[in-house]
Structure 1
Amino acid sequence: MNTAIVFSDEPVLLVGGAIGDNAQLSELLNEFRTVVAADSGADWLMQVGRVPDALIGDLDSVSDATRAAIPADRVHHIAEQDSTDFDKALRSISAPLVVGIGFLGGQVDHLLAAMTVLARFPHRAILLVGQDDVVLHLPPRIELDLAPETRVSLFPMRAVTGRSTGLRWPIDGLRFSPDRRVGTSNKADGPVTLRMDGAGMLLILPVQERAQLATALVQADGLWPAL
């Protein structure tokens, strides 16, 4: 467990190496004062003309040219190989919310690793943004003002139960687990409330719900204890 490197009273944007839409990244950059790169996420940032405030990771994939262009005091090499760069960066950021981009595209193994990290940090407010979806680890309770027919997917990372209002197919009484029952492609009939009985459930919504989810995470009435 490493000590935090980046401290912010505001949400922080964390950029990973699964390069996606430059316009989407640029839009996010306009919303955040503090921007951190996880290893080769720095290459994507430099493509759009932004030098990260911090570069964190084992630095085995960032290009030499990008690393040389970043001031040395912003480069933080964490050499251990037992965790992903996403994990290393999250452990190194102290902020009320971390919004990550560049973690949901690219290789499937990297995507699955990112989902595992979300499950490992139930005590943190983290929102991952992709081209089409946003993903978060559900807090104990969340309320969302969703339009009817909005796709609502629930994916358990461990055995977990909960209750819902506003879903086409309620989850009350169901026992979810990654090898038994998952809750993909449910639908909202209107505003949705989700109450989970334990940590371990990921929520996946259309990317258009990003701002609402970010606000809901920050305003959530408590998160889960650290594992």
Structure 2
Amino acid sequence: MTDKIVRTDAPLTLVGGGQADVGLFQALRKHAPGVVAADGGAALALKAGEMPLAVIGDMDSIDDATRAQIDPARFHHIPEQESTDFDKALRSVEAPLILGAGFMGARRDHELANFNTLVRHPHRRCVLVGMDELVTLCPPDLAIDLRPGTRVSLFPMRALHGWSEGLHWPIDGLDFAPDARVGTSNLATGPIRLRFAAPGMLLILPRDALDPLVRTLLATPGSWPAP
């Protein structure tokens, strides 16, 4: 898709219908004030007092009361059933960074599909933020200031290898794959640096690492090319 429904030079909050509350939504909006809803996620945006710039999806989960409060021109119906509403929304917006609430925790099948979407759109910088954790696709080179003892989990969505600095258990020389070695429950000894030869490694951090991660991603120039 080349035509974008929403384009912005500032970070964007994307809200879905999964597990999220007003507090989480508002925490993301401190970094990303513009809001786009994926289908039923519009209800949380309205509950928080925010009118979404657009509502994108197959419109099978938005309730009538929520729909009635939104200008019909803001709805963008994408009827195909080959992708999730998160995928539909992510590929339809353009921003330097996208923060997603409501895409983890409610249904495990949707959550896994959303992680798959992160990997299939590696050129889009997106962080999915849950009630306790956040997940993002590692860029080619990421240096982030973390407190010593911060849990750093790495989960490969394809076979790949990488290099690290500042991890209690370094990953240099290790072969990762979803059906073989994974890198969960590592620890930061302080600031860390991660480098990968190809897109496909999910980085999982505690939610309180959101502020340094946002600062780092916005300041890191390199990104994966579009597939």
Please give the range of the TM-score, normalised by the shorter of the 2 chains: over 0.9
The alpha carbon displacement at 1:18 in A equals 0.6
Q: Distance in 2 between matches of 1:9 and 1:123?
A: 16
The alpha carbon displacement at 1:48 in A equals 2.4
The alpha carbon displacement at 1:169 in A equals 0.4
Cα offsets for 1:145-183 (capped at 9, x unmatched): 111110000000000100001100000111101111110
Which ranges in structure 1 are unaligned for 5 or more consecutive residues? none
Contact 1:126-1:137 at 8 Å conserved across structures: yes
The alpha carbon displacement at 1:31 in A equals 4.2
Cα offsets for 1:41-68 (capped at 9, x unmatched): 0112222232211100000011011112
Cα offsets for 1:174-221 (capped at 9, x unmatched): 110111111000001111111111110010111111121112222223
Aligned length: 227
Identify the residue that residue 50 of structure 1 maps to in structure 2.
50
Q: Distance in 1 between matches of 2:109 and 2:33?
A: 31
Which ranges in structure 2 are unaligned for 5 or more consecutive residues? none
Identify the range of structure 1 (98-107 vs 215-224) with the bigger mean alpha-carbon deviation.
215-224
User: Within the alignment, does 1:188 sit opposite 2:188 as a pair?
Assistant: yes
Judged with a 3 Å threshold, the aligned counterparts in structure 2 of structure 1 residues 189 and 86 are, in CA distance, closer, same or farther, namely same
Question: Percent of aligned pairs with the same residue?
Answer: 53
Q: Distance in 2 between matches of 1:30 and 1:186?
A: 29
SS of equivalent to 1:81: coil
Identify the residue that residue 138 of structure 1 maps to in structure 2.
138
Identify the residue that residue 100 of structure 1 maps to in structure 2.
100
User: Within the alignment, does 1:3 sit opposite 2:3 as a pair?
Assistant: yes
The alpha carbon displacement at 1:27 in A equals 3.0
Identify the residue that residue 25 of structure 1 maps to in structure 2.
25
The alpha carbon displacement at 1:21 in A equals 2.7
Correspondence 1:1-227 to 2 at 5 A? 1=1, 3-227=3-227
SS of equivalent to 1:36: strand
Identify the range of structure 1 (29-38 vs 196-205) with the bigger mean alpha-carbon deviation.
29-38
Q: TM-score, normalised by structure 1?
A: 0.96
Q: Distance in 2 between matches of 1:38 and 1:8?
A: 17
Q: Distance in 1 between matches of 2:200 and 2:76?
A: 30
Contact 1:167-1:187 at 8 Å conserved across structures: yes
Q: Distance in 1 between matches of 2:28 and 2:169?
A: 33
**CA RMSD after TM alignment:** 1.2
Q: Distance in 2 between matches of 1:95 and 1:182?
A: 31
SS of equivalent to 1:213: helix
Contact 1:16-1:38 at 8 Å conserved across structures: yes
Q: Distance in 1 between matches of 2:47 and 2:2?
A: 29
Q: Distance in 1 between matches of 2:220 and 2:104?
A: 24
SS of equivalent to 1:40: helix
Q: Distance in 2 between matches of 1:215 and 1:200?
A: 22
SS of equivalent to 2:117: helix
Amino acid at match of 2:77: H
Contact 2:144-2:191 at 8 Å conserved across structures: yes
Contact 2:19-2:104 at 8 Å conserved across structures: no
The alpha carbon displacement at 1:138 in A equals 0.4
The alpha carbon displacement at 1:2 in A equals 5.9
Cα offsets for 1:2-30 (capped at 9, x unmatched): 62100111001000101323222233334
